[in-house]
């Protein structure tokens, strides 16, 4: 059975790169009818928090990822202890009593000699008396994995191809810290093996860890899974995508008014595209059926906020249903301080969904439909502050009193006014636009007239006559 997993550490917001890893891992499992596991890697007690975990899960759900099994490493410590014991008994691991200062000295020495640092292996062979003495003194210790000398660890990465790493590049590494908590490279193996993970899909920054993990698989007699390391995501300046590039967490985009469907779709195309098509807009179901690790590019992908924004615009304009858009739009309206009834929002959105690319931009652009009092730009004020405009508006109210109002009716009335006062069509329209929206550009007057109830239209015109 195909089993993949996403294994985030709850030490911050969900980064776009990690979200893409999660998505690829998810699509891979779903494509093969396999299982997708979510495992929270929270053994680093200092950096992990429950708040980050909660937000992580929320963001993953928001993106539309659902998992079949959930684990939290901090709840599995007994299990890791058992496997530490096994490694000790089989001679693959040993306690190391070196102090931080001693290790620091080793490191400095290596630096002075200009060679890469690796642990000297000093505690590999402690005399029994020495061991007794340390135990009697309750001297703190870590547990290290005994790395066999001179091994070349080789694996076939499903994305990166053939990888060979000499274990002499690293020394015996710590698998249990002196506070008793196990480290990543150790627990990731125990978990992936016990959870039956067949494919480890993760960022390429983990390639240097993989040989360490393979050695532990071997030492414990576990079957080694397949590895697929995803290339990094770069910013447009070709450096690794980071906070310097602005918004890089899923939450940032969620709060800016990106739709989860659009972000999901966009992230999929960061380093992957289905062979044989130029298409870019795909539903989740299509992505599940098209996704293949073989089509993942082995070189880095470049994140473009502009492209993501464009794609979000496509989703808003033509992909999601109006109902869906309304459901996403209302919280943004409410956060901006407007209350609105669903039916009304729906009528607004139906006519305007082609005019904005993010929900927050939408609220900014469409707030004119929701405000109690229109705010006037300087240009609009200039248009309204003269006698001619007064005449236009008075005549409008007079004519409007005998009819209902919609775009067509307002156009007819405007034409009559234009004739009666000897004005240009554009001038009349300008006055109406300035009165109803407070702006000389933006949302069309016809849309306003079609969507807003008659009494609110009249009210806006009357207000101009009252205050200008």
- The 10 Å CB-count burial string (b at 16+, else e) for 348-382 is bbebbbebbbbbbbbbeebbbbbeeebebeeebee
**Which C-beta is closer to ligand GLU: that of 208 or that of 331?**
208
Which one of 1-9, 97-105, 150-158, 340-348 is the stretch in contact with ligand GLU (CB under 6 A)?
1-9
Task: Tell me the C-alpha distance between 201 and 199, whole Å.
Answer: 6
β-bridge partners, 3: 35
Task: Tell me the C-alpha distance between 208 and 214, whole Å.
Answer: 11
Any long-range contacts for 217-220 (C-beta under 8 Å, 24+ apart)? 217/189, 217/193, 219/87, 219/90, 219/92, 219/145, 220/83, 220/86, 220/87, 220/189, 220/190, 220/193
Task: Tell me the C-alpha distance between 102 and 106, whole Å.
Answer: 6
Q: Supply the minimum distance, in Å, between the C-beta of residue 1 and ligand GLU.
A: 19
* 9 touching ligand GLU, by CB under 6 A: yes
Which one of 6-14, 96-104, 106-114, 221-229 is the stretch in contact with ligand GLU (CB under 6 A)?
6-14
* 42 touching ligand GLU, by CB under 6 A: no
* Range 120-149, binding ligand GLU (CB under 6 A): none
Residue in the block written with tokens 């495992």: 39
Structure tokens at 410: 């307002």
Sheet holding 226-230, edge to edge: 69-72, 35-40, 3-6, 199-203, 226-230
**Which C-beta is closer to ligand GLU: that of 4 or that of 142?**
4
Choosing from 35, 199, 202, 430, the residue that interacts with ligand GLU (CB under 6 A) is 202
* 188 touching ligand GLU, by CB under 6 A: yes
Q: Supply the minimum distance, in Å, between the C-beta of residue 11 and ligand GLU.
A: 8
Q: Supply the minimum distance, in Å, between the C-beta of residue 267 and ligand GLU.
A: 17
* Alpha carbon separation from 238 to 12, 123, 233, 373, 452 (Å, rounded): 24, 44, 9, 47, 48
**Which C-beta is closer to ligand GLU: that of 188 or that of 436?**
188
Contact 284, 320 (CB under 8 A): no
* 433 touching ligand GLU, by CB under 6 A: no
**Which C-beta is closer to ligand GLU: that of 144 or that of 202?**
202
Choosing from 206, 309, 411, 454, the residue that interacts with ligand GLU (CB under 6 A) is 206
- Give residue number: closest CB to ligand GLU: 202
Which one of 7-15, 174-182, 299-307, 313-321 is the stretch in contact with ligand GLU (CB under 6 A)?
7-15
Structure tokens at 270: 């960061």
Total residues contacting ligand GLU by CB under 6 A comes to 7
Question: Of the listed 61, 243, 381, 415, which one is catalytic?
Answer: 243
243 catalytic residue (yes or no):
yes
344 HSE (CA, 13 A, CB side): 14
Structure tokens at 91: 């001679």
**Which C-beta is closer to ligand GLU: that of 192 or that of 450?**
192
Choosing from 4, 8, 259, 320, the residue that interacts with ligand GLU (CB under 6 A) is 8
Residue numbers at the binding site for ligand GLU (CB under 6 A): 7-9, 41, 188, 202, 206
Active-site residue list:
243
């Amino acid at each position: 059975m195909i089993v993949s997993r996403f294994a985030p550490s709850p030490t911050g917001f969900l980064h776009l790169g990690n979200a893409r890893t999660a998505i690829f891992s998810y699509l891979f499992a779903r494509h093969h009818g396999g299982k997708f596991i979510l495992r929270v890697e929270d053994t680093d007690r200092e950096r992990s928090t429950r708040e980050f975990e909660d937000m992580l899960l929320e963001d993953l759900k928001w993106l539309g990822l659902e998992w079949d099994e959930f684990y939290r490493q901090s709840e599995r410590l007994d299990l890791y202890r058992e496997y530490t014991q096994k490694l000790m008994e089989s001679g693959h691991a040993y306690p190391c009593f070196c102090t931080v200062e001693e290790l620091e000295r080793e490191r400095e020495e290596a630096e002075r000699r200009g060679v890469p640092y690796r642990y000297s292996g000093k505690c590999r062979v402690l005399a029994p008396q020495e061991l007794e003495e340390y135990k009697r003194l309750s001297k703190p210790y870590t547990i290290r994995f005994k790395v066999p000398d001179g091994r070349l660890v080789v694996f076939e990465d499903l994305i990166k191809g053939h990888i060979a790493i000499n274990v002499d590049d690293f020394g015996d590494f710590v698998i249990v810290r002196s506070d008793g908590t196990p480290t990543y490279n150790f627990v990731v193996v125990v978990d992936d093996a016990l959870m039956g993970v067949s494919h480890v899909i993760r960022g390429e920054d983990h390639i240097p860890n993989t040989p360490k993990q393979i050695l532990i698989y071997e030492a414990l007699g576990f079957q080694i899974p397949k590895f697929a390391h995803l290339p990094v995501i770069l910013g447009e300046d070709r450096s690794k995508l980071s906070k310097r590039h602005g918004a890089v967490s899923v939450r940032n985009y969620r709060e800016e008014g990106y739709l989860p469907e659009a972000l999901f779709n966009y992230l999929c195309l960061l380093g992957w595209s289905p062979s044989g098509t130029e298409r870019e807009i795909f539903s989740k179901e299509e992505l599940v059926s098209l996704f293949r690790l073989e089509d993942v590019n082995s070189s880095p992908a470049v994140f473009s906020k502009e492209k993501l924004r464009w794609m979000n615009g496509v989703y808003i304009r033509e992909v999601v249903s109006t109902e869906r858009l309304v459901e996403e739009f209302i919280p943004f309206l409410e956060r901006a301080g407007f209350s609105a009834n669903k039916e009304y929002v729906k009528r607004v959105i139906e006519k305007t969904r082609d005019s904005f690319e993010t929900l927050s931009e939408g609220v900014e652009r469409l707030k004119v439909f929701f405000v109690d009092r229109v705010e006037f730009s300087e240009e609009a004020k200039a248009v309204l502050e003269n006698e001619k405009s007064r005449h236009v508006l008075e005549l409008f109210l007079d004519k409007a009193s005998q009819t209902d109002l919609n775009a067509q009716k307002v156009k007819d009335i405007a034409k009559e006014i234009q004739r009666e006062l000897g004005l240009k069509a554009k001038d009349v329209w300008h006055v109406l636009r300035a009165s109803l929206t407070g702006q000389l550009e933006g949302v069309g007057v016809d849309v306003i007239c079609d969507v807003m109830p008659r009494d609110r239209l009249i009210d806006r015109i009357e207000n101009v006559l009252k205050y200008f």
